[in-house]
Amino acid sequence: MIRPSIRFTSAVALVALSLSMTQAFAQTEVPAAPVAPAPATAPVFPKPDPANFTATTPTKETVSSFLSASWGYDDSRIWQVQAILKTPVEGVAKVVVLVGDKTGKEKPAVLQFYAMADGKHIITSDQIVEFGANPFADSRAKLQEHANGPYRGAAPKDLELVEFADFQCPHCKEAQANMDKLAVDFPKARIVFENDPLASIHPQSVNAASYGVCVASLGGSTAFFQFAAAVFDGQDGLATSDGAALTLNSAATKAGLDPAKVATCAATPATKSSVDASVKLAGDLGVTQVPMLFINGRQVPANVPYETLKKIVEYQAKMDGVAL
């Protein structure tokens, strides 16, 4: 679910670009293929003209490494850096990439973006995206330091999957099937839950998040995930304040806790500060919609088809030298 007040940055743009060739997503930087029949063989890109490489940074190698980090999980995706051009702004370069797929089912498309002078960001469409040969490193470090929510799986953070979700969001409920499968398929992963309630459209989401914080505090991570499963299962009950009270108290009971103690804890300033910190972390990372999953810092919608999500986890783990 997309946040009505869009935050400053988003790192899902390039993931969405690759995924958009098989399904519709909210953000797409490559034009949709026309209705005309697609070619039957892999595209042959025109040879780049050396005259179109007028900027000294980024290098062609850096751009290629960035695209490999972003798209390498997709065996069918191919690309070619066609131009890296100076612009009137010192240190800012325009990059042009041709994109296609090996099967020839998709018509080749053009991706254009602007590489910033800091060497760490690009602007593509209306998005600011992390850039470089290892574009997810900063987000990964930030999450390792600040993603302190309840977790399941392994304690080490070598492979850390951090989900930002809203208990009242229907798409977040749907994504829990993916999260449960990830827990089974990647037992060495640390799977963290972080609250990102969309209070303006989900009036009970902050209350549910507060209950979750207290369940984790009073009962630990195991109790939290029992509570979370019960809340998502009974999500329709969050539609009203009375229904929310019944749903949240019932979920706390199913997690083995006294609902009165959880409710008292949920009303404290300390609990509010905890929820606020999680929301701020999401904002700092550029989360603009939920459910969102960070895979060692790599931002991917948590409700993409599971096989795609699994491939991305496997690829990111390989890039980071993590044995599965």
Question: pLDDT tens, 122-152?
Answer: 999 888 999 999 999 999 999 999 999 999 9
Q: Give the residue, 15 or 8, on which the prediction is more confident.
A: 15
Q: Taking a C-beta distance cutoff of 8 angstroms, is the pair 193, 287 a contact?
A: no
Which of 16-25, 56-65, 133-142, 279-288 is predicted least confidently? Answer: 16-25
Going 179 to 183 to 189 to 194, the CA torsion angle's sign is positive
Residue type, 91: G
- What is the domain partition of the chain in residue ranges? 13-133, 138-319
| Candidate from 28-42, 56-70, 132-146 with smallest mean pLDDT | 28-42
pLDDT at residue 66, as a whole number = 97
Judged by DSSP in three states, 85 sits in strand
Strands 190-195 and 160-165: parallel
Note the pLDDT tens digit of each residue in 156-200: 999 999 999 999 999 999 999 999 999 999 999 999 999 999 999
d(C-alpha 239, C-alpha 244), whole Å: 7
Examine the pLDDT at 104 and tell me if it is beyond 90.
Answer: no
**Residue partners of 148: CB distance under 8 A and separation at least 6:** none
Mean pLDDT of the chain: 90
**Residue 5 scores a pLDDT above 70:** no
pLDDT at residue 291 in the model:
97
Tell me the two tokens of residue 240: 């009203």
Interatomic CA distance for residues 260 and 258, integer angstroms: 5
Assess whether pLDDT exceeds 90 at residue 42: no
Distance CA 65, CA 51 (A): 22
CATH number of the domain at 138-319, please? 3.40.30.10
Please tell me the predicted confidence (pLDDT) of residue 127.
87
For 174, the token pair is 């749907």
Helices (H) and strands (E) in the chain — how many of each? 9, 10
User: Looking up tokens 């850039």, which residue turns up?
Assistant: 131
C-alpha to C-alpha distances, 22 to 79, 168, 184, 256, nearest whole angstrom: 17, 28, 26, 43
